[in-house]
Amino acid sequence: MSEYAGLGDVAGKRVLVRSDLNVPLDGTTITDDKRIRASVPTIQALAEAGARVVVTAHLGRPKGAPEDRYSLRPVAARLGELLGQDVAFATDTVGGSAQETVAGLADGQVAVLENVRFNAGETSKDEAERGAFADQLASLADAFVSDGFGVVHRKQASVYDVAQRLPHAMGGLVSAEIDVLRRLTESPARPYVVVLGGSKVSDKLGVIDNLLGKADKLLIGGGMVFTFLKAQGHEVGKSLLEADQLDTCRSYLERAQESGVEIVLPTDIVVDTAFPSGDRTPEPRVVPADEIPSDSLGLDIGPDSGAAFAAALADAKTVFWNGPMGVFEVDEFAGGTRAVAEALTKVDGLSVVGGGDSAAATVRLGFAESSFGHISTGGGASLEYLEGKELPGIKVLED
């Protein structure tokens, strides 16, 4: 491969790759390397084409200064294992170590710079400060490849500003994500079913608003469902409730009815008198969705609802799922999420798991990645795309 994504022959060129290596760590142990594995194909393709690959990424949310717990050193080591070659590691982002490390690269070799968020310029709202940091990053490279889909909705130095300073291209991972999202929004095969969960309605307002005109069915579970149930006049006990969103939920229910979109809410709920924590043994009970006791809170959709959701997905040709149906980390409250995941594995069409907690749930519940059509690496970016928002990190590549 002598040419990559319109950059021409990259052999001998320093190519800065913005990857998404934001993986969970237990100390220095990586507990899920999915994002690193997803980043490998683009890095490997560039290295095999003879590029001198300089990888930049973030991990966690440091406050613009180095923090040992957010170091990318263990990530660089794992990347080297997956690539089958030594990966050099710079102990800073644009300082002496970064400059020396990049200068020492031979054709086909790979280096990882330290956490890009250790520099305050990366996330600064001040364009001059952000631009100054982007200038330093750009000085390390001859070309730029954007391959961190999880950050393309952020207007940050290593995502947006660097692309304005170097010949640039979309990496394979980002390209694949955008292709899938376009299939979800521009001409989805029907029936098109969207499954939304997670804790808050407010996190999904834009998605619901936009998809009410596109989807055929909208299945709603997770903590967000209790605001919908309350909007219908049902008591929800101690369940999670966003009282300021009741009118919004009522309007969505009305709009769905008017536009012929079917909103499916659970008919039964798994409740307990307390949130699972500590040494307390869970005491789950299944109750009708309109009869949640005042001393209880909903922690999962019930078995009848899980079966109904699966039935609603049975003939779907396009499915987008974002957000678990309950507290899937606890076995007693994982049944609803398992039912949805199982149903997605049987979809005869495009099934998309929208990243974040949904992707984590599939791993915890033992589903193979290959069981789904696509598992997104960027939940927030996926949601903003589905809301119809412009993603700065994509727009800058197209300009």
Of 200, 250, 255, 364, the catalytic one is 200
Give 366-370's long-range contacts (Cβ < 8 A, gap of 24+).
367/341, 367/342, 369/34
Of 148, 323, 378, 380, the catalytic one is 380
233 — phi, psi (to 5°)?
100, 10
Q: Judge whether 356 counts as a catalytic residue.
A: yes
Residue 46: exposure state from Cβ atoms within 10 A (0-12, 13-18, ≥19)? buried
Of 222, 356, 378, 393, the catalytic one is 356
> Measured on CA atoms in the order 176, 181, 187, 192, is the torsion positive or negative?
positive
> Measured on CA atoms in the order 236, 276, 23, 161, is the torsion positive or negative?
positive
Q: Judge whether 14 counts as a catalytic residue.
A: no
317 — phi, psi (to 5°)?
-105, -20
Closest CA to 14 of 53, 45, 55, 56: 53
Q: Judge whether 35 counts as a catalytic residue.
A: yes
Contact 348, 288 (CB under 8 A): no
The sheet with strand 110-112 has its strands ordered as: 87-89, 110-112, 52-56, 14-18, 143-146, 168-170
Q: Which residues pair with 350 in a beta bridge?
A: 318
Each residue of 73-102: b (16+ CB within 10 Å) or e?
A: ebbbebbbeebeeebbbbbbbbeebbeebb
Q: Judge whether 200 counts as a catalytic residue.
A: yes
Of 35, 130, 238, 338, the catalytic one is 35
Looking at the annotation, which residues are catalytic?
35, 200, 356, 380
